[in-house]
Amino acid sequence: MNEILNHTETGVMTITINRPERKNALTCAMYGAMADALTQAGSDGNVRVVVLRGSESAFSAGNDIGDFLDARDATSVARFINGAATCPKPLIAAVCGPAVGIGTTILAHFELVYAGDNALFSTPFVDLGLCPEAGSSLLLPQIMGYHRAAAALLAGEPLTAAAAWQAGLVNRVAPVADVHDLALAQARKLAAKPLGALLETKRLMKAGQSALLAQQIAQESASFTRLLGEPAAREALTAFKEKRKPDFSKL
């Protein structure tokens, strides 16, 4: 079974995370496939808009911890993050169910985000002995305000769909059964607009922070890699995999 599906029709590329048995937890191979799709979308004249979706029960549970612990090369993760940050085409997300870690932070790079009323956004990086990624330490305070972002990134407090809408993280909340159709309909509306004007408007909206964002992503990546090698993260990730409570008392 392909864990990342890619389909283009009427100017819209739909990327579907398709690993329902693991709540769409992401492996390095899946990151690579999504990065490849974004690269293709950026250069393919037949693609005007990109939609990223999961299933009605889960957008993404974040990193597959087992794969994450065994990984020796995070290049595919960096490619996906940078692909989302620099894609010239408008990005739309349809989010239902849990959106954990990068399942939430990657949304800061999207132009439009539609959430099912069952969506739950969480960024438990500190609880795992880690730090934010995907530029979220810069973008989430801008989108949500500093204090809401601190509650999410420092305290790990999850956001319901309604709270995410109030915080400005999502554009609209809809019944679960309607979310994917809503995102696709909005994508088709954008795809029908003049392509040059569409791309130039996105470029201008992003231009003011492109250099700063790239710098922040690089800084986050360096900190994330350093923290990942420290005892707190190894204990937290191992405890998660073993389904027990982590013990930080000696760290």
pLDDT tens per residue across span 201-222 = 999 999 989 899 999 999 999 9
**Model confidence at 1, in pLDDT bands (50, 70, 90)?**
confident
Res. 69: pLDDT tops 80: no
What architecture (CATH level 2) is domain 4-177?
Alpha-Beta Complex (3.90)
The pLDDT of residue 163 is 98
Q: CB–CB of 20/58 below 8 Å?
A: yes
CA 24 – CA 87 distance, rounded (Å): 23
Kindly give the residue spans of alpha helices, DSSP state H, lying in the chain. Answer: 28-43, 65-70, 75-86, 102-105, 136-144, 146-153, 161-167, 176-191, 195-207, 210-228, 231-242
- Tell me the whole-structure pTM to 2 decimals: 0.95
